[in-house]
Chains A and B, each alone.
Chain A
Amino acid sequence: MLSRILAIFRARNLEFVRDRGSMSWNIVLPVALVFGLSFIFSAENRPEYTVGVLQQDSELDRDAHPFLSTRYVDFVVVEDEVDGQRKVARHQLDLLVQFDGADRYWVNPDSPKGYFAELALLEATRGQITREPIRGDAVRYVDWVLPGILGMNMMFSSLFGVGYVVVRYRKNGFLKRLRATPLKAMEFVIAQVASRLMLIMVITTFVFLGTRYFLDTRMDGSYLLLLLIAFVGAVALVSMGLLVASRVTSEELAGGLLNLITWPMMLLSGVWFSLEAADEWVRQLAMVFPLTHILNSARAVMLDGAGLVEVGPALLMLAAMSVAFLSVSAALFRWRPS
């Protein structure tokens, strides 16, 4: 029995080692993730609190007030007062301060971190500052994270449910069999996209309504607009899956590529935590992912009641990504292994 196990073990190892693409990805992916994450989150004395500084100049002047030199606080410039207040209400900022002579600050009394940041502020200003409590509904974490979880589920379903399956079809010859029928490549692609879209929309709607009913999650905007965002976003993600699957023939390589895409997207698109405090380049990098646009616009609708005008640019970006992904995947598509 052992010799049979060893024979299979050896054969499998040889197969893996000889599949250079899969092996490379299996090594490169975790290394890239570890290095990438350590680089992004490596700053020593990482700030514990985030305080918005309301000012017109985009460069923060730390000499404007001694409080702005407080350690363990990440000071971010806020140019729009309403936007800053909204973020305080939603716990995205622990405080919003303004030092322009008539010093004042905004705090959400329901925010634990806001409470401690306020103590530090009062210590630094000796109480010589006007308090402006934000009277708005604090956004619970579940409200904030729900779009992230739904988006992440859409992402995995789209990329693995389409990309991985198409690669399997190609590898086992099912695509070749279809090629021998009058079926066109575009028809096959459309069928795959439509099938997965329907599945995603049904599951996402079901989960959304379930959480809305049982957890009373926040929904300030239009259901129809949210549905549109989910639809356009799912098309973009499914198209991305097709792009990965367009000519890969190894399921392991496909898995590696899909992981390479999904993990950074999951970490940088704001699924679990906000990137408000992240460096500008990280936030810019996140904009290349369709999931970022999906989550930003879904949260805008669900938490801020945003309308079509506000989320329109994100929808256009998702549509452009879909066209690009589909065009390239159609050009690269192969029915059978080379």
Chain B
Amino acid sequence: MVRPTKFEIREHATEPALKLSVTGELDMNTVELLARHVERSLADGPRALRLDLAELGFMDSSGLRFLIDLYDRSRREDWELSIVRPHDEAATMVLRATGADTALPFEPDGSS
């Protein structure tokens, strides 16, 4: 039953915002992959970033902490972060339980 954590990041070179679609499970292990990917994406200068978590299957507070830090950074560096809300209960639970579902820049439901 040993298996790597399911995780995938797809990059869409959309304008004006760069869009990253994240699928699988976001935890202490996979959040490092996402952090590195985002870091590379922002290396050429801040630009709007759209993080699509719609198909995310799980997230815990490791993922939540990353989202909060990224949102803080976007405000500090003055670029826009928007997040597409996950559908799966196993991914939304940590957001609801901490109140982050109203504190982070989630797009209104149905806008995609």
A and B, one complex? no
State the B residues within 8 Å of A (CB). none
